[in-house]
A and B are shown apart, each in its own frame.
Chain A
Amino acid sequence: MERTLINLVDISKQFGDTLVLDEMNLTVRENEFVTLLGPSGCGKTTTLRIIGGFVQPTTGKVIFDGKDITKLPPNKRPVNTVFQKYALFTHMNVEENIAFGLKIRGKSKDYIRDKIKYALKLVNLDGYEKRSVNALSGGQQQRIAIARAIVNEPRVLLLDEPLGALDLKLRQDMQYELIRMKKELGITFIYVTHDQEEALTMSDTIVVMNQGYIQQMGTPEQIYNEPENAFVADFIGESNIVDGVMLEDRLVEILGVKFPCVDEGFGRNKPVDVVIRPEDIILSETEPGLLDGVVTHLIFKGVHYEMEVMAGGYEWLVHSTKCFPVGTKVSLKVKPFDIQIMNKPESEDEMAVEIDG
């Protein structure tokens, strides 16, 4: 376990009447790739800007490596930011952009030249020193923005939706590039995005946020396979969320049909939310004792077929490599391990953060 680098303690932020962050606590360890994931307005960018020093929290503390840096201005913090819209200095060429921070720190010419060379190599743009930044494509501009940040050897690199403005193919390429850079540099990355695929691909830890609260924090596998509430389940990937009753340990009743599962400790006859991923539903010819339904929609998606099955009064989303034409009568089967049981939200507060629309 690496040691703690950043500690956000009871951070709240209010803009006018709007509470953007509500007593948030977050720990980031050294050399970790942490992703703040959530819909727009969830407070993820504000969190990043508080760490960067651009926003002062209304209450709470930012602890960096044991020291309180809450009041430290951004230019004195050992972190650098890669902005969503690149924010390159358009009147300077590539070299001058990258050298900006180093010149302020009074580094020697030789040192700066070597650093620029190294940084351009790292972002795969060797030989671009003298180019005008206006002549670069979006992807290249973002690489320069990354190079400009990392030459200063920050302890933490903050990335604010850095791939948001790029097209799909480039975005996927850049995801691998970022993982590679992270490995080469060996520094902490805090990454903000609303794209769940980006988060799942790159992160060591994902922090799912909504309306100023952390909904769940964990590895990509934990977040995807064991969502803690309906919001997380719905936001990460596609899922079927249905009402169920936990009859006893390892047995849940969904829409009148009993399903064996692996969850324990919910008590007897307890109403719960049940999450089943579309790819975990196995369709078969009708069999007695199972949930029966009729295929209502069928779309070919390339990798799989996407089907909607009306069963037990709920429209199930199903992904399968087998094709069942519309109108086919089918039974739904789910392996016990693939059924995820969640407590129903208890208080009104939790209800409020459940699902947006």
Chain B
Amino acid sequence: MKNAMKKIYLILMLFYLYAPIMVLMVLSFNESRSRVTWGGFSLKWYEDLFTNSMILDALKTTLIIALVSAAAATVLGTLACLGINRMRKTPRTIVMGMNNIPMMNAEIVTGISLMLCFVAFGITLSFKTVLLAHITFNVPYVILSVMPKLKQTEVSVYEAAVDLGASPVYAFFKVVLPDLMPGILSGFLMAFTMSLDDFVITHFTRGAGVNTLSTLIYSEVRRGIKPTMYALSTLMFVSVLVLLILINVRPQKKKDVIE
């Protein structure tokens, strides 16, 4: 009886969480435009999606921004970790605290302040400003995911490499970096997903004509919703889902090998 209750409760919770997305997914395959009647299975909205040049352009922009900003943030964040790790305890705690604040900060505040900052420095809002904004908000996530790995890596491993004749640079790439790789990779993936589904900050920092998928959906929806958007949302959800699974499965595999 108790077990049955537990199961029902769990199913209810999952239902609440995923029902809206399920509805969206189902409707994306609906032949009819209607949001209430089922007109039969169809892939026509997906066809429409992949022939719509505006959507494809936005998709391209989104992917470029996500990839480039995640890559840049990964490099910057990893370098920052190396520096922070060498600091004394008090400054290190302060810097790590400062690193966490932007992640807690409301996105709308980050977005508006970035926009004001660009305008104040006379930088025209464009594709570049979106990219810069995305790099900015991605760096803390990379630091957060690389730092624990760096703390685990023994200083003596680097020293051992140097002791065996390696130059400091060779020792870093050959010995320290491979140890950090799982952290760097999950940092990159996290930054990538963050950038992929960001709307608020992109909305405030984009220039005229620059659209990512999220800003495009927003403007389309205002004009009256088309099931093509359901198809797009479904695809975005699925790709983020796949990425999240990748992030979470990877470290576990690593652990299995050690044990």
User: Is chain B found bound to chain A in the same assembly?
Assistant: yes
Listed in ascending order, the chain A residues whose CB lies under 8 Å from chain B are: 52, 54, 73-75, 79-81, 83-85, 87-91, 100-101, 104-105, 132, 134, 145, 148-149, 152
**CB closest chain-B residue, reference A105:** B165
| CB–CB A80/B163 < 8 A | yes
Known contacts A91-B179, A104-B170, A134-B257; A52 and B163 CB within 8 A of each other: yes
**CB closest chain-A residue, reference B175:** A89
Bound CA span A9–B179, Å: 38
| CB–CB B161/A100 < 8 A | yes
> Inside 8 A of A54's CB, which chain B residues have their CB?
159, 163
Q: Give chain A nearest CB distance to B154 CB in angstroms.
A: 6
9 A-B pairs whose Cβ atoms sit less than 8 Å apart in the complex: A73-B162, A74-B163, A81-B160, A87-B154, A104-B165, A132-B257, A149-B163, A149-B164, A152-B165
> Inside 8 A of B175's CB, which chain A residues have their CB?
89
> Inside 8 A of A52's CB, which chain B residues have their CB?
163
For residue B84, CB closer than 8 A to chain A, the reply is no
For residue B64, CB closer than 8 A to chain A, the reply is no
| CB–CB B154/A148 < 8 A | no
| CB–CB A75/B160 < 8 A | no
Residue from A74, A87, A101, A134 within 8 A of B258 (CB atoms) = A134
> Inside 8 A of A85's CB, which chain B residues have their CB?
154, 156
- Chain B residues with a Cβ closer than 8 Å to the other chain, count: 19
**CB closest chain-A residue, reference B259:** A134
> Inside 8 A of A90's CB, which chain B residues have their CB?
179
Q: Give chain B nearest CB distance to A130 CB in angstroms.
A: 15
Known contacts A90-B179, A91-B179; A83 and B160 CB within 8 A of each other: yes
Known contacts A101-B165, A104-B165; A87 and B160 CB within 8 A of each other: yes
**CB closest chain-A residue, reference B258:** A134
Q: Give chain B nearest CB distance to A97 CB in angstroms.
A: 9
**CB closest chain-A residue, reference B160:** A87
> Inside 8 A of A145's CB, which chain B residues have their CB?
160
| CB–CB B163/A75 < 8 A | yes
For residue B178, CB closer than 8 A to chain A, the reply is yes
Bound CA span A145–B164, Å: 11
> Inside 8 A of B157's CB, which chain A residues have their CB?
87-89
Bound CA span A81–B160, Å: 7
Contact residues, B7-62 vs A (CB, 8 A): none
Q: Give chain B nearest CB distance to A82 CB in angstroms.
A: 9
Residue from A73, A91, A104, A134 within 8 A of B164 (CB atoms) = A104
Bound CA span A67–B154, Å: 32
For residue B167, CB closer than 8 A to chain A, the reply is yes
| CB–CB B156/A83 < 8 A | yes
For residue B166, CB closer than 8 A to chain A, the reply is yes
Q: Which 3 A-B pairs have the closest CB atoms?
A: A101-B164, A87-B156, A87-B160
> Inside 8 A of A104's CB, which chain B residues have their CB?
164-166, 170
Q: Give chain B nearest CB distance to A272 CB in angstroms.
A: 45
**CB closest chain-B residue, reference A132:** B257
Bound CA span A341–B179, Å: 56
| CB–CB A80/B156 < 8 A | no
Question: B156, B164, B165, B179: which has the most chain A beta carbons within 10 Å?
Answer: B164
> Inside 8 A of A100's CB, which chain B residues have their CB?
161, 164, 166
Question: A75, A81, A90: which has the most chain B beta carbons within 10 Å?
Answer: A75
| CB–CB A152/B159 < 8 A | no
| CB–CB B154/A81 < 8 A | no
**CB closest chain-B residue, reference A83:** B156
Q: Give chain B nearest CB distance to A84 CB in angstroms.
A: 8
Bound CA span A240–B157, Å: 43
Bound CA span A104–B165, Å: 7
> Inside 8 A of A148's CB, which chain B residues have their CB?
160, 164
> Inside 8 A of B154's CB, which chain A residues have their CB?
85, 87
| CB–CB A80/B179 < 8 A | no
| CB–CB A152/B156 < 8 A | no
| CB–CB A75/B162 < 8 A | yes
> Inside 8 A of B257's CB, which chain A residues have their CB?
132, 134
Bound CA span A100–B162, Å: 10
Known contacts A87-B157, A89-B157, A104-B170; A81 and B163 CB within 8 A of each other: yes
